[in-house]
Amino acid sequence: MSPPLARVARIDRGAADLLTDSGNCRIDIPPGSDLAVGDWVTTNGLHLLAIEPRRTAIVRAAASGESRAQILVANVDTVFVAVPAVPAPRPAAVERLVALAWDSGATPVVLLTKSDLAVAPQELHAAVAGSAPGCDVHAVSAETGDGMPALAAYDEPGRTLCVIGRSGAGKSTLANALHGEVAMEVSNVRRDGKGRHTTTHRQLIPLPGGAVLIDTPGLRGVGLWIADEGVAAAFPDIDSLATGCRFSDCAHDTEPGCAVTAAIASGELPRRRLESWRKLEREAAWIAARSDARLRKERQRQWRQTTMAARRSGPFRP
């Protein structure tokens, strides 16, 4: 009989908290292990035996001087991209997080958090939706409860949710509201509107409907793994326009017969979208050039698997 699977809920230096069908436990992990929150593992009760293949992963690209990329969270189905209503979100920042979420292999859902603070809620909603074509967008306030019932639809057995966004976006407040009691510490944003990096570890939290949610520290932006696939998924408008360009390798710059620049000229596509796309494409190319081939292969395999994979059931089964 194969040993039962457990789910990694939290990792501290040298140890991991696991959720199992028969309660929680803590194991030692070997130095250099690339274990991540959300991983499914087998153990002998004390030590890690094996990590199950990951269906999806959010990855931090190797920083200079490091040889290996770091898996931040694993096996996520739905990524909540938390975008606070205040200060007014920058479209490029939303596009970047959405591309990152797609690239993980999961499906992004944009949450316009702190909706109680929005001055022009409808305009804000429309603007954010324009930066996330094809994604569901929900305005929510964890403070007043406004819009929160819509999120219950995501809390179903077997689903793994993850919330990402900059520090102070309200991720932990949202996690607590969904969990039903305080699981994560929360603190006020600074007077300049920036967060305080209150959450410093990733943590998997069970939700009442049978899903689990992974709360994460505020993203500082740079250094996260984005590849062509994620950028293409975040820009379906540009991707589909590009099929009408005369040249298949069109850079949508000064090429004749470019359907993308034509769409900008006609007002169909905001120029800003193309600029944002270009920036992310460059970033993806840069990451690909300096990443190791092994990880790149693993990511490609994950992409193929997730696009074909049927959802499995049971909160404590991969």
Ligand X SMILES: Nc1nc2c(ncn2[C@@H]2O[C@H](COP(=O)(O)OP(=O)(O)OP(=O)(O)O)[C@@H](O)[C@H]2O)c(=O)[nH]1
Kindly list the distances between the CA atom of residue 270 and the CA atoms of 112, 129, 204, in Å, as whole numbers in the listed order.
22, 14, 38
Among 9, 57, 142, 164, binds ligand X (CB under 6 A): 142
Beta-carbon count within 10 A of 279 CB: 14
**Which residue number places its CB atom closest to ligand X?**
218
258 in contact with Zn ion (CB under 5 A): yes
- Tokens 């069908």 correspond to what residue? 21
DSSP 61-127: PPPTT--S-EEEEES-SEEEEEEESSSPPPHHHHHHHHHHHHHTTSEEEEEEE-GGG-SSHHHHHHH
Choices 121-129, 146-154, 241-249, 295-303 (CB under 5 A): range interacting with Zn ion: 241-249
114 in contact with ligand X (CB under 6 A): yes
Choices 5-13, 145-153, 194-202, 258-266 (CB under 5 A): range interacting with Zn ion: 258-266
# residues near Mg ion by CB under 5 A: 4
Kindly list the distances between the CA atom of residue 105 and the CA atoms of 59, 135, 234, 299, in Å, as whole numbers in the listed order.
11, 14, 12, 9
269 in contact with Zn ion (CB under 5 A): no
Can you say how many angstroms the Cα of residue 15 is from the centroid of all Cα atoms in its chain? 24
Q: Are strands 23-28 and 70-74 parallel, antiparallel or unpaired?
A: unpaired
CB of 124 to ligand X, least distance (A): 14
DSSP 186-247: --PPPTTS-------S-EEEE-TTS-EEEE-PPP-STTB---HHHHHHH-HHHHHHHTTSSS
Could you give the CA distance from residue 174 to residue 180 in angstroms, rounded to a whole number? 10
Choices 25-33, 161-169, 243-251, 292-300 (CB under 5 A): range interacting with Zn ion: 243-251
Choices 5-13, 198-206, 245-253, 305-313 (CB under 5 A): range interacting with Mg ion: 198-206
Whether 86 and 169 have beta carbons less than 8 Å apart is answered as no
Could you give the CA distance from residue 46 to residue 62 in angstroms, rounded to a whole number? 30
260 in contact with Zn ion (CB under 5 A): yes
Among 172, 261, 276, 302, binds Mg ion (CB under 5 A): 172
Among 52, 116, 228, 298, binds ligand X (CB under 6 A): 116
Among 167, 261, 276, 291, binds ligand X (CB under 6 A): 167
199 in contact with Mg ion (CB under 5 A): yes
Residues 219-278 that bind ligand X (CB under 6 A): none
160 in contact with ligand X (CB under 6 A): no
Q: What are phi and psi of 58, to 5 degrees?
A: -95, 130
Among 124, 169, 207, 226, binds ligand X (CB under 6 A): 169
Applying CB under 6 A, the residues found at the interface with ligand X are: 113-114, 116-117, 141-143, 165, 167-173, 186-189, 195-199, 217-218
Applying CB under 5 A, the residues found at the interface with Zn ion are: 245, 250, 252, 258, 260
Applying CB under 5 A, the residues found at the interface with Mg ion are: 171-172, 198-199
